[in-house]
Structure 1
């Protein structure tokens, strides 16, 4: 004869699983939120680097005479 759980035992088991799943969902939600913060930070940094690179390229494309003389002249 198989060992059958009582209704109360089955409910207790399901409640324990539910609590465990809720905790996992909360943990995953925190991980996703941190990842989005990192993505936002990296996006801002990439934009700033792109701007700096564009400025360097613009200076490189400028004619040589357009550059101001060094301060010791």
Structure 2
């Protein structure tokens, strides 16, 4: 194998390593965003459940006594 082919292969491997690092960083950031969004959805779901009628929330959706 001549030196120029070996150099070309080394350059390609270096670019692939850089690309792999960039993709790994992107996937890591996206997973962090997914985790945050899942937590926010969980909190919103709990808030929604706690505001449902019949959950004994004072001042909730009760019919006033004069009706």
Q: TM-score, normalised by structure 2?
A: 0.79
Return structure 1 stretches of 4+ with deviation > 4 angstroms. Answer: none
Q: How many residues align?
A: 59
RMSD over equivalenced CA pairs, Å: 1.9
Q: Which has the larger radius of gyration?
A: 1
Q: Which runs of 5+ in 2 are unaligned?
A: 60-67
The structure with the largest helix share of the pair is: 1
Q: TM-score, normalised by structure 1?
A: 0.73
Q: Which runs of 5+ in 1 are unaligned?
A: 1-5, 69-73
Query: Which residue is 2:46 aligned to?
Result: 51
